[in-house]
Chain A
Amino acid sequence: DIQMTQSPSTLSAFVGDRVTITCRASQNIGSYLNWYQQKPGKAPNLLIYSASSLHSGVPSRFSGSGSGTDFTLTISSLRPEDFATYYCQQSYNSPRTFGQGTRVETK
């Protein structure tokens, strides 16, 4: 199985901060990497697919980059509704695997 490792596990930030979350794959996955946001008690929401494509309706302050084994999710200016947990997911092969999550909390 491809292991996905996110860092940090928890991130403390202020509204307005630029936030970067990293996801590393245990092998080359090309650009087959997706990002999700999950709020407590809710289903995850797709943010970014294929490493850098913004899903419909997602604000442009979210962006993704990377290829191969190293990927980043960036929030250019954190808003109050962005405090949540973020997951990466590889779609290169089966079984589909997720990172352990990065919780973004208010500083």
Chain B
Amino acid sequence: QVELQQQGAGLLTPSETLSLTCVVSRGSFNAYYWTWIRQPPGKGLEWIGEIDYSGSINYNPSLKGRVTISVEASKKQFSLNLTSVTAAETGVYFCARGKKGGYSGYGTALFFDYWGLGTQVTVSS
């Protein structure tokens, strides 16, 4: 059974940088897209971005250049950095495995079949 274990600090002050890491165990690393998704309290899910083992990356344009996702395939881990966080970015941050579900013509279709437990991130002064 694939496991995704999340690591990183959960309490930040405004303007700081959020840094989280997700370590993958018991499964292949190279065949998937590794993804970050967040959820504000009481609200829905927002896709942050994804990376594959080779470093091919896709970000949500709404994050306007503040986000960086990186991968260390040899360690089967990937990371999220989000700079200049605000209180509005408080919520639970999930890492997830994106499995290929075909090619739409506009990119690789993914569905998220394994998820980390989530990290509560609170941004407060």
Q: For A45, what are the chain B residues with a Cβ–Cβ distance below 8 Å?
A: 115
A46 contacts B104, C-beta separation under 8 Å: no
Within the complex, the shortest CB–CB distance from A1 to chain B, in Å, comes to 8
Say yes or no for A14: interface residue by CB 8 A criterion.
no
B44 contacts A101, C-beta separation under 8 Å: yes
The B contact surface, by secondary structure, is: strand
B45 contacts A44, C-beta separation under 8 Å: yes
Say yes or no for A74: interface residue by CB 8 A criterion.
no
Cα distance, A90 to B100, chains bound together (Å): 13
Report the count of interface residues on A (CB-CB < 8 A): 25
Which of B79-125 touch A at CB < 8 Å?
94, 96, 99, 101-102, 104, 106-107, 109-113, 115-118
- Listed in ascending order, the chain B residues whose CB lies under 8 Å from chain A are 44-47, 50, 58, 60-62, 94, 96, 99, 101-102, 104, 106-107, 109-113, 115-118
A-B contact pairs, 15 of them (CB 8 A): A29-B104, A32-B104, A43-B94, A44-B94, A46-B112, A50-B102, A50-B109, A55-B113, A91-B109, A92-B104, A94-B107, A95-B60, A95-B61, A96-B50, A98-B44
- Listed in ascending order, the chain A residues whose CB lies under 8 Å from chain B are 29-30, 32, 34, 36, 43-46, 49-50, 55, 87, 89, 91-101
